[in-house]
A and B are shown apart, each in its own frame.
Chain A
Amino acid sequence: MIDTYLIPLVKILFVLNATLIGVTYMVLLERKVIAWVQVRLGPMRVGPYGILQPIADAVKLILKEDITPTRADKWVFTAAPIIVMVPALITFAVIPFGPVVNLFGRQVPLYITDVNVGLLYIVSVASIGVYGIILGGWASNSKFPLLASLRASAQLISYEVAVTMTLVSMIMTAGTLSMVKIVESQYDQHLWFIFVQPVAFVLFFIGGLAETNRAPFDMAEAEQELTGGFHTEYSGMRFALFFLAEYANMIVVSSVATTLFLGGWLAPFPNVGWLSFLGYVPSWMWFLLKTFAFLYVFLWVRATLPRYRYDQLMRLGWKVLIPIAIANVVVTGIVKVLF
């Protein structure tokens, strides 16, 4: 009873809350990191060094008036933010934060579940999130959001192809779709997959930036062009859901990248004898460290690079990334067969 129901339930609650808190603090982290890049201080007023800023923001957004434009499609308008947020959250079900550990005398795996199609599950759930963006823009019944949502959906669909093709080469390398087994396979091969598949890593990183609508691919919310993008007409908590979903997706992409390429919860060089002291750091700590390192790169890129233009972005996706991804799959296959 405890093993089948209670423990998973506790884990789900824990992961959900940790994610939501992580997401709100991600916003603060982004503001701080970009502020430091831009020789500013960032939020400093709420709490010491602004660490309570996310709470103030949340309170503000909840208290704000929730406006639905008169001529908007009411049901779709309401559903859109939810459609964006839910896939971002349920992806965490298959992300392994650590191996099976001994907790209070009980063997507890540090992941909610391990399904044999884990990686595909993440891809398919992520593909549902596109609906929120398209519908949000369409239901607003306004021109700028419509343009933005068309841009966003075309972008997401194109880059999904590239990312999925990249993941295919990773599946071939690991020989499994299960997220846990992918990490274990990196342990068995004594090598993080970033060293086996560097091209795939770069492709996944670029694709991940585009999939999460981040700079330099933040076409959909290019505020300088489209005055905010698909969520222009949203206010209050509904806007916050769009906003938080973007950050949740960033965390998802980072977690997947960590699992696939950076050895998940494994300490660096687990088989090198004199580095064994790294094993004293708990496994979930390594996972978080790697994920945040990856997230930091996201922010760093945003602070540094200008924005691509929409047609250039599509050209990059279809004419550069997808061919390279397919070539990578073919090369991986050949290498797999030969060795």
Chain B
Amino acid sequence: MTTHTGQMFDTEELVINMGPQHPSTHGVLRVVLRLDGEKVVSSDVVIGYLHRGIEKLSENRNWTQIILLTDRMDYVAAATNNVGYCQTVEKLMQIEVPRRARYIRTAICELQRIASHCLWLGTHAMDIGAMTVFLYAFRERELILDLFEEYCGARLTYNSMRIGGLPLDIPVGWDRKVLEFCTIMSEKVDEYEELLTHNRIWLERTRGIGVITAEQAIAIGLSGPPLRGSGVPRDIRKDEPYAAYDEMKFDVPVGTSGDTYDRYLVRLEEFRQSIRIIRQAIQGLPEGPIVGKVPRLIKPPAGETYHAIESPKGEIGYFIVSDGKSTNPYRFRVRPPSFCNLQALPQLIKGHLVADVVALIGSIDVVLGEVDR
């Protein structure tokens, strides 16, 4: 130790490298923390460990093959990605999607939302130390994966949409199983709440942690539950309805204080709203074709379009440019919700303790496959 005038000891900040191999950075996120004691002075978020160049790859695939690539972005909500992409192309080509297909898309999107939120709840609770919730949430996620497997044969990367509609109609009896699942799930959400919502330790760990005001949230460009947790009632399903959301009755839960606890409450309420939507979609499922009038060769006219839908994590948008000549997009760009929400992290964790860092990473719910693409 060197000695300075009047000061016997230096104090220095401890630099800690959290990740890319750390159990609670949800994949390969790397956060470089500068600590004063255990308090975070500043932090750098380093991403890119899972970059696969999906956007560039897409420019060399034909329009149908891209659906498969979108699965690999947010791999815990693959079906939502499929829907978002297909709808963008449909918008570009002005294809009318049959009503039955739109209803099934809605149901699948909401099932996917529940599955994604289950994974979020489990890992978030695990980060804060409640490990039983993790297994309970995964137990229910398993039921959804079974439903998906029955519908499209895959459990993680579904490839479950086609431009203009669906690849397959739902299997016989699937709708009944989905409704059964809804009954089970609504009980289980209460079970999660029993374990956490009024738990003193949970409250102390999440209340007032990582507060972000509505103005800040909008300025950063947050979307999805983190934005709604701050009290902004923005939900694309409500504001710019797609699929069959305009025919569904549901509420958009919003928080008040914008802390971790509010984001948690918003997502838990979304479980219930999703169940409500699935019930309506399955019970009111119309008869009819599942694919609209789609040409043999998909070649959208020249032009560009941006279309966004509400994924479990926020606004997932696709910006696609077509030159009208080739069978692949000229430019393909994704606005991933995880990436945009992750920007809030340095601001959220500043001044909090190391233990809160993992809670906050969990609370903004990032999937690194989507951040890095």
Q: CB within 8 Å of B: which residues of A? A: 34, 37-40, 143-144, 147, 151, 215-216, 218-219, 222-227, 303-312
Contact = CB atoms under 8 A, between A and B. Distances in A.
Interface residues of B, number: 30
Contacts of A226: 354
Contact of B205 (A34, A151, A223, A309): A309
Ranked 7 nearest A-B pairs via Cβ: A307-B129, A306-B130, A38-B135, A224-B24, A306-B129, A306-B128, A309-B355
12 contacts: A34-B131, A34-B132, A38-B132, A39-B135, A39-B139, A216-B201, A222-B355, A224-B126, A225-B24, A306-B129, A308-B201, A309-B204
* Interface-centre pick from A144, A224, A307 (highest chain B CB count, 10 A): A224
Given A215-B129, A225-B24, A310 B195 contact: no
Interface in B109-163: 125-132, 135-136, 139
A39 to B, nearest CB: 6
A306 B202 contact: yes
B22 interface: yes
Most buried by B among A215, A227, A307, A312: A307
B129 A216 contact: yes
Interface of B: 14, 16, 22-24, 38, 125-132, 135-136, 139, 195-196, 199, 201-202, 204-205, 353-358
Contact of B38 (A38, A147, A303): A147
Contacts of A222: 129, 355
B199 A224 contact: no
B108 to A, nearest CB: 27
B354 A225 contact: yes
Task: Tell me the interface secondary structure of chain A in the complex.
Answer: helix
A200 to B, nearest CB: 21
B353 A309 contact: yes
A246 B14 CA distance: 29
Given A216-B129, A306-B205, 17 more contacts: A34-B132, A37-B132, A39-B136, A39-B139, A143-B16, A147-B354, A151-B38, A215-B129, A219-B355, A222-B355, A224-B127, A224-B129, A225-B24, A225-B354, A227-B22, A305-B130, A307-B128
A305 B357 CA distance: 19
B342 to A, nearest CB: 19
B132 A310 contact: no
A304 B191 CA distance: 12
Contact of B23 (A34, A219, A227, A308): A227
Nearest to A307: B129
Contacts of B353: 309-311
Given A144-B16, A227-B22, A308 B126 contact: no
B205 A308 contact: yes
Given A224-B126, A303-B131, A305-B201, A143 B354 contact: no
Given A38-B135, A310-B355, A304 B129 contact: no
Contacts of B129: 215-216, 218, 222, 224, 305-307
A40 B136 CA distance: 10
Contacts of A151: 38
Contacts of B358: 224-225
Contacts of A305: 129-130, 199, 201
Given A222-B355, A304-B195, A312 B38 contact: no
Contact of A308 (B38, B127, B204, B354): B204
Most chain B beta-carbon neighbours within 10 Å: one of A147, A151, A309: A309
A38 B136 contact: yes
Contacts of A306: 125, 128-130, 196, 199, 201-202, 205
Contacts of A147: 14, 16, 38, 354
Find the residue from A34, A39, A215, A308 having the highest chain B CB count within 10 A. A308
A218 B355 CA distance: 12
Contacts of B130: 304-307
Contacts of B22: 227
Given A144-B16, A309-B204, A312-B204, A225 B131 contact: no
Contacts of A227: 22-23
Contacts of A34: 131-132
B96 to A, nearest CB: 46
A310 B204 CA distance: 12
Contacts of B139: 39
Contacts of A219: 355
Contacts of B131: 34, 38, 303
Given A223-B23, A224-B358, A304-B195, A40 B126 contact: no
Contacts of B128: 224, 306-307
A303 B132 contact: yes
A309 to B, nearest CB: 5
A253 to B, nearest CB: 20
B133 to A, nearest CB: 8
Nearest to A219: B355
Contacts of B136: 38-39
Contacts of B355: 219, 222, 225, 307, 309-310
Contacts of A223: 23
B34 to A, nearest CB: 12
A309 B357 CA distance: 11
Contacts of B356: 309
Contacts of B132: 34, 37-38, 303-304
A61 to B, nearest CB: 21
A297 to B, nearest CB: 15
